[in-house]
Chains A and B, each alone.
Chain A
Amino acid sequence: MKRKSEFVVPLLFLAAAPLVVYSVQRVFLHTPNERTMGTAFKIFFFHVPMGWLCMLMAVISGVAAYVQLRRRSRTASAVALAAAEVGFLGGLGVMLTGPIWGHATWGTPWTGDARQVTTALLWLVIAAYLLLRHFGQHASERLAAALAIFGAVNVPLIYYAVKLWKTTHPTTGVVAKLPPEMWATFWPGLSALLLVSFGLFAIRARQLVLAGELDDAYVRLEDSRA
């Protein structure tokens, strides 16, 4: 039987496909080079959305984990894990492309900029959450939820802490002001990335819910035989 939710994922990917093509051709063919950073600036258009994706998914995971704790909801638990996985993916993307961009423009892959450190620390929390969900036993699921909540709450705290921490270090401006034609390229890229990631996220969440239901079904089968 087909559920309504099954049509959402193909729709997301269908909407994303032309946007991806459009944004990539716009990035490479129709966007002027940034004055000081040159061609390497084109990394920006997918690097920054990945960072936003990572933060957004961390927040979704934290909220879902809270619902999971309060309501004992299986769906919330699945959503929290799926969001953490996609957030992990986004974080990995940022942390790999960031140093590449940095190497091209600053000449060094890592400057210890507040955003860099914040993302790295957030990514560590997400990784710890995934480790706990995969290797902890059944009972540590609630603990993992607490960890996800802390991860979401930590984002602004860490950012503030790193800003304080940096006060005694040299600061590096990343992007001062973007001209409008850059933003016009940025938004399609962001939406394409978000659509694709939400599609993947929806698939994963549904898989997790299904796996839980399947487990239940097996248990009931055993029960009916006994």
Chain B
Amino acid sequence: MTPIAPPVLITGLVFEAAPAPADGGEYEPAVGTSREEKEILATLEDKAAAKTASDYQHIVWAYGILWALFAAYGLFLWRRSARLRADVDALRQELGRSGARGGPGA
């Protein structure tokens, strides 16, 4: 048994694989298909598979970049608000220490 490449396997489901020639005698091709036809199909399928694989790669990159961008901006916003909160706390402490009345309502 030779290992079967996936495209051939797929083809085999549709068309019956040609049997090995018996004792070098009469070779009977399977009904409904020919070797050339099958090879053309296989190359086409290889091409389609390669295209799909490359497309998948591109999609992963594209979506990865998009989500990374949003995540980066979210992180930036989060750090900003942490700093802002620290500032507000510092101001509160200052206010508490100096006991200034009528100061800003933070």
Contacts and interface: CB of A to CB of B under 8 A. Distances in A.
Within 8 Å by CB, do A and B touch in the complex?
yes
Interface of A: 38-40, 42-43, 46-47, 50, 85-86, 89, 92-93, 96-97, 100-101, 103-104, 196, 200, 203-204, 207, 210-211, 213-214, 216-218, 220-221, 224-225
A203 B77 contact: yes
A200 B70 CA distance: 9
Contact of A216 (B73, B95, B104): B104
Given A86-B73, A97-B62, A100-B65, 6 more contacts: A96-B66, A100-B61, A207-B84, A214-B84, A217-B106, A220-B103
Contact of B58 (A89, A103, A213, A218): A103
Contacts of A204: 77, 80
Given A42-B59, A100-B58, A103-B58, A224 B103 contact: yes
Given A93-B69, A221-B91, A224-B100, A207 B74 contact: no
B51 interface: yes
B59 A203 contact: no
A225 B95 CA distance: 11
A124 B88 CA distance: 35
Contacts of A38: 51-52, 55
Give the 8 A-B CB pairs with smallest separation, nearest first.
Answer: A39-B55, A217-B104, A104-B58, A40-B55, A97-B62, A43-B62, A100-B62, A96-B65
A97 B94 CA distance: 48
A207 B77 contact: yes
Nearest to A46: B66
A46 B65 CA distance: 11
Contact of A93 (B51, B65, B84, B94): B65
Contact of A196 (B55, B70, B95): B70
A224 B91 CA distance: 14
Contacts of A211: 84
B27 interface: no
B59 A43 contact: yes
A6 to B, nearest CB: 12
Contacts of A220: 103-104
